[in-house]
């Protein structure tokens, strides 16, 4: 009896083999289909503006006036808002990466089991704070503090937005890099300590190289978070699309900036559906999508490079 | 991009649903001759539109009113598509928009003025400057203007920090045309804030700040300027009387557009809005009523 039913099941599975294979192949390809579909959708919504847009102005001017004063022509100079997004991303990573990696090392290597659990819960809580609350903190609490500490006129600026976004990215970086560190076998730790390495040398020379793919992936997810963050950045960044004269002047941290995401969020609800402004906002969306794709591909190549080193 | 429109949609969906539910629970509203009015348009007027519809439906259970408000431009689109015959607007329709509506629907929209909105110029409460003239405001806000420091208008030696709204917001467009004038843009470096609340919040915390927003956003911790039409002229603070009389110079009209002359239930609703009850609700929402 049992044997008979087993045989039946076997026959069924034999027949089902092909459809199941198809289904799984489809699942595998689905993400590619989704990405392509999103690209096509955004491109379709932006059409035909890519043909008529003054691309030189788009990339090299920071005069963004899509709804001009009566009698003027609209100008779409997006250089200032692209600079804003890139600047917030870079500066926020200077805050988030050391903080995130440091706290992952502490949680995985130094904390007692009880403390570890508490810290992990708290960090998950940090990740659950809605972005509008972060924006509110930036605008109402950190703004006045930055004004006092640095003696600047306006506290919503690049530094404020970067701190907010950096703190938002920290939980992501901590949880993924902590996983990566935990995945390193204990035998590595024991072997290096037995050879006389100090704990710091063990972490720096053994754990980090062994876990570097995971750590890099954690940082890249943090970068993705910073590029895409909208509401908090909008509230904490000040919203002006100026470009600094000197990119190495630390004072630019205290300048106000404006991000791509905030521009789309602020102008889309009022843009005339299907009008030129609407289409150009979708081009801004394509720029944003391209930035995240480039970051992902570059980080992938870096990880592949690491693997090639190993081999 | 993800957050704001979605949040707005969510809020509107919830409001529409709650309106429908509250109406259904009133009972008696579901007989065969329920009349429906679909309101769309200005996001500035969304709140007052909702307040009107709620009060009116309480008295007239046979009328079903749904209210949406993403922007004046959305109201135009809805009228072209035939999804609304009743569009609220914080600016008058442009010629092209009227032509598009005539082309699509065969009837011209009719303009009704239902109230006024004063745009206040907010400053830090400690700012000793209490009044400015329109020409001075233009020098502060407009591209090429010469006033960049509060000391030039009798204030402390601080660089003026300007806070405004997103480029496509109705408030931005109105303040630009009222203060900078035709064909003149804002000075580069005028910050675009997420909303009126953020503008007022920054004027509360930044000693050198100046910003524009509806007069309803005033609180005790922020200051605002009295504005005169000309240098040396009498300056008026924004308020119901000064806006209604036209003394306060930075005020705009609030409009409702109907497709053709209103008839039947739409006419009754429009008359009620312009009447004492509707105007009282408008005043409760911090706008300025018609007869003041």
Any idea what the CATH number is for the domain that residue A302 is in? Answer: 1.10.3720.10
Could you tell me the domains of chain B? 3-108+260-284 (3.40.190.10), 117-245 (3.40.190.10)
Say yes or no for a CB contact (<8 Å) between B73 and A270: yes
Q: B68 versus A171: which is more confidently predicted?
A: A171
- pTM given for the model: 0.74
Please state the rounded mean pLDDT for residues A156-172. Answer: 92
Q: Residues of B numbered 36-55 whose beta carbons fall under 8 angstroms of chain A's beta carbons: which are they?
A: 43
All residues of chain B having their beta carbon less than 8 Å from the beta carbon of residue A147 are 205-206
Candidate from A80-84, A142-146, B168-172, B245-249 with smallest mean pLDDT: B168-172
Counting the structural domains of chain A, the total is: 2
A72, A157, A228, A272, best to mutate vs chain B, most B CBs in 10 Å: A272
- Taking the Cβ of residue B169 and every Cβ of chain A, the question of whether any pair is shorter than 8 Å is answered with yes
Point out the residue among B73, B161, B176 whose CB comes nearest to the CB of A154.
B161
pLDDT tens digits for range A15-65: 888 888 899 999 989 988 998 899 899 999 888 888 888 888 888 888 888
CA A84/CA A239 separation, integer angstroms: 9
Nearest to B1 among A135, A238, A285 (CB): A285
- Whole-angstrom Cα distance, residue B187 to residue B38? 40
B53 close to B256: Cβ distance less than 8 angstroms: no
Q: Which helix (H) or strand (E) holds B248?
A: none
Alpha-carbon distance of A168 to A127, in angstroms, equals 7
Chain centre to alpha carbon of residue A12? 46
Task: List the domain range (segments joined by +) for residue A292.
Answer: 59-310
- Looking at the fold, whether A162 and A275 belong to one and the same domain comes out as yes
The model's pLDDT over A110-126, given as tens digits with 9 standing for 90+, comes to 889 999 999 989 998 88
- Best of B2, B4, B190 to disrupt the A interface (most A CBs within 10 Å) is B4
Do A100 and A31 lie in one domain? The reply is no
Distance from CA of A297 to the nearest CA of B (A): 23
Q: pLDDT for A211-269, tens place per residue?
A: 888 888 888 889 888 998 998 999 898 888 888 877 787 888 888 888 999 889 888 87
Together in a domain, A27 and A138: no
- Tell me which residues of chain B have a pLDDT lower than 50: 1-32
Selecting from A68, A135, A153 the residue whose C-beta is nearest the C-beta of B159 gives A153
ipTM, 2 dp: 0.74
In this structure, is residue A51 part of a structural domain?
A: no
- Assess whether A78 and A211 both reside in one domain: yes
Does residue A8 lie within any of the structural domains? yes
Q: How far is A271 from chain B (nearest CA, A)?
A: 6
pLDDT digits (tens, 9 = 90+) for B216-254: 888 899 999 999 988 888 999 988 888 888 889 898 889
Hey, is B110 helix, strand or coil?
A: strand
Position A52 in a domain: no
Indicate whether A54 belongs to any domain: no
- Whether residues A119 and A233 share a domain: the answer is yes
CA distance A235 to B279: 34
- Contact present, B227 and B134 (Cβ < 8 Å): yes
Say if residue A167 is in the same domain as residue A78. Answer: yes
């Amino acid at each position: 009896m049992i044997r008979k039913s087993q045989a039946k099941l076997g026959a069924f599975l034999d027949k089902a083999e092909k459809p199941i294979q198809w289904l799984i192949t489809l699942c595998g390809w689905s993400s590619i289909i989704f990405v392509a579909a999103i690209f096509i959708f955004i491109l379709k919504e932006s059409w035909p503006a890519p043909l008529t847009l003054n691309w030189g102005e788009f990339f090299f001017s920071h005069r963004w006036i899509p709804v001009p004063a009566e009698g003027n022509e609209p100008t779409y100079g997006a250089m200032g808002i692209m600079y804003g997004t890139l600047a917030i991303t870079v500066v926020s990573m200077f805050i988030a990466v050391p903080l995130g990696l440091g706290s992952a090392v502490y949680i995985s290597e130094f904390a007692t089991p009880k403390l570890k659990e508490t810290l992990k819960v708290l960090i998950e809580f940090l990740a659950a704070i809605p972005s509008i609350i972060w924006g509110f903190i930036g605008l109402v609490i950190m703004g006045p503090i930055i004004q006092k500490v640095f003696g600047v006129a306006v506290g919503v600026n690049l530094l404020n937005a970067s701190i907010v976004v950096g703190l938002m990215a920290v939980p992501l970086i901590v949880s993924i890099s902590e996983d990566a560190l935990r995945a390193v076998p204990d035998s590595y730790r024991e072997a290096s300590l037995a050879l006389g390495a100090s704990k710091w040398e063990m972490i720096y020379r053994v754990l980090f190289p062994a876990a570097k793919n995971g750590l890099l992936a954690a940082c890249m997810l943090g970068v993705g978070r910073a590029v895409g963050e909208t509401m908090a950045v909008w509230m904490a960044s000040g919203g002006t699309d100026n470009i600094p004269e000197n990119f190495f002047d630390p004072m630019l941290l205290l300048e106000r900036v404006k991000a791509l995401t905030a521009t789309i969020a602020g102008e889309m609800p009022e843009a005339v559906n299907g009008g030129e402004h609407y289409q150009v906002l979708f081009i801004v969306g394509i720029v944003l999508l391209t930035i995240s794709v480039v970051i992902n591909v570059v980080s992938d190549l870096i990880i592949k490079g690491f693997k090639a080193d190993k081999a | 991009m993800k957050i704001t429109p979605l949040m707005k949609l969510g809020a509107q969906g919830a409001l529409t649903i709650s309106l429908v539910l509250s109406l259904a629970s009133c009972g008696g509203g579901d007989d065969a001759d329920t009349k429906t009015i679909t309101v769309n348009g200005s996001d500035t007027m969304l709140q007052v539109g909702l307040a009107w519809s709620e009060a009116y439906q309480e008295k007239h259970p046979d009328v079903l009113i749904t209210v949406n408000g993403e922007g004046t431009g959305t109201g135009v689109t809805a009228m072209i598509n035939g999804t609304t015959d009743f569009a609220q607007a914080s600016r008058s329709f442009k010629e092209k928009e009227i032509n598009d509506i005539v082309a699509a629907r065969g009837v011209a929209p009719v303009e009704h003025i239902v109230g006024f909105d004063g745009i206040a110029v907010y400053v830090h409460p400690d700012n000793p400057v209490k009044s400015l003239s329109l020409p001075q405001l233009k020098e502060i806000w407009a591209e090429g203007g010469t006033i960049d420091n509060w000391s030039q208008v009798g204030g402390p030696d601080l660089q003026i920090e300007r806070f405004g709204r997103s480029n496509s917001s109705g408030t931005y467009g109105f303040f630009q045309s009222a203060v900078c004038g035709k064909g003149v843009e804002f000075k580069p470096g005028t910050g675009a804030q997420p909303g009126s609340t953020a503008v007022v919040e920054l004027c509360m915390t930044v000693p050198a700040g100046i910003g524009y927003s509806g007069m309803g956003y005033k609180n005790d911790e922020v200051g605002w300027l009295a504005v005169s039409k000309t240098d040396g002229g009498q300056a008026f603070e924004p308020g119901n009387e000064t806006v209604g009389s036209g003394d306060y110079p930075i005020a705009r009209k609030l409009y409702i557009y109907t497709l053709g002359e209103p008839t039947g239930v739409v006419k009754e609703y429009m008359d009620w809005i312009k009447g004492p009850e509707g105007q009282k609700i408008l005043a409760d929402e911090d706008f300025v009523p018609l007869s003041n």
